[in-house]
């Protein structure tokens, strides 16, 4: 099963690399950074927490290298990561997370080593509000916000879409697909089509 997964991952890698600057490494590496939880509160607003034991939304790792990753992992690994994320004596040391990085500067993902994403190629449509997630290196945090217009000129950042039901989906895709999404000034009532992948650590929509 695992071999099949690795094989299909390699095929996907080759296909993706030949298309765009969408880099994927099968090699497990260590990424250092601060862990942040972004979830939707009772009023429907995106709220950010640096101190948490549970996260009902998306987890982001703000890398000390300056890159922002949406983090996805198996239930067991994520539990351990969240426990290690607590501050000690009021100070939060950057975490050292093991994983595989996928994507590019405008949409990095970090997968923990044992994560096996559901195989799924069914196209799904998601309608909602598009939010930009800007890294805030000074605070060791992120700022999720609805942009006033195109955001492709802004510093590299991540995105998610929030439905009226309060579900959130991390957005990933090729650089071209992400940039075309960023160029669209429409941010509310946006309909995106892509392939949906889910696991215990949140939904991912691969836009195309
Ligand atoms: Zn944006």
103 contacts 12 by C-beta, under 8 angstroms: no
> What is the tens place of the pLDDT at every residue in 115-173?
877 777 789 999 999 999 999 999 889 999 999 999 999 999 999 999 999 899 999 99
Instruction: Assess whether pLDDT exceeds 70 at residue 25.
Output: no
Global pTM?
0.84
Considering the chain, what percentage of its residues have pLDDT values greater than 90? 57
Cα gap 13→3, rounded to integer Å: 15
Q: How far is the CA of 85 from the centre of ligand 1 (A)?
A: 27
Could you tell me which of 175, 205, 174 has the C-alpha nearest to residue 192? 205
* pLDDT attached to residue 113: 87
Task: Please say if the pLDDT value at position 7 is more than 80.
Answer: no
87 or 81, which is more confident?
81
Q: Are 205 and 124 in contact (CB under 8 A)?
A: yes
SS3 content of the chain, % helix, strand, coil (to 5): 20, 45, 40
CA triple 168-101-92, angle to 5 deg: 75
Q: Tell me the CA–centroid distance for residue 132 and ligand 1, in Å.
A: 4
Q: What is the tens place of the pLDDT at every residue in 85-94?
A: 766 666 777 8
Using the mean position of ligand 1's atoms as its centre, give its distance from the Cα of residue 1 in Å: 37
The residue extents of the domains of the chain are 2-111, 123-207
Interstrand relation of 123-136 and 190-199 (parallel, antiparallel or unpaired): antiparallel
- Taking the centre of ligand 1 as the mean of its atom positions, its distance from the CA of residue 143, in whole angstroms, is 11
pLDDT-derived band of residue 83, with 50, 70 and 90 as boundaries? Answer: confident
pLDDT at 89: 66
Tens digits of residue pLDDT in 100-109 = 999 999 999 9
Give the Å distance between the CA of 48 and the centre of ligand 1. Answer: 17
- Residue 186 confidence (pLDDT) above 90: yes
């Amino acid at each position: 099963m695992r071999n099949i997964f690795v094989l299909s991952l390699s095929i996907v890698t080759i296909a993706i690399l030949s298309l765009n600057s969408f880099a994927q490494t099968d090699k497990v590496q260590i990424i250092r950074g601060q862990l942040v939880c972004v979830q939707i509160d009772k009023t429907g607003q995106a709220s950010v927490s640096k101190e948490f034991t549970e996260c009902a939304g998306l987890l982001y790792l703000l890398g000390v290298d300056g890159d922002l990753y949406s983090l996805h992992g198996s239930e067991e690994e994520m539990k351990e990561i969240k426990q290690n994320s607590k501050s000690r004596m009021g100070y939060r040391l950057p975490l050292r997370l093991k994983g595989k990085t996928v994507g590019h500067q405008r949409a990095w993902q970090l997968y923990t080593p044992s994560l096996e994403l559901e195989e799924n190629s069914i196209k799904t449509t998601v309608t909602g509000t598009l939010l930009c997630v800007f890294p805030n290196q000074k605070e060791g945090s992120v700022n999720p916000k609805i942009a006033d217009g195109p955001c492709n000129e802004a510093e590299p950042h991540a995105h998610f879409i929030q439905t009226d039901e309060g579900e959130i989906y991390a957005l990933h895709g090729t650089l071209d697909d992400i940039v075309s999404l960023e160029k669209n000034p429409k941010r509310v009532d946006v309909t995106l089509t892509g392939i949906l992948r889910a696991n215990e650590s949140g939904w991912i929509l691969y836009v195309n």
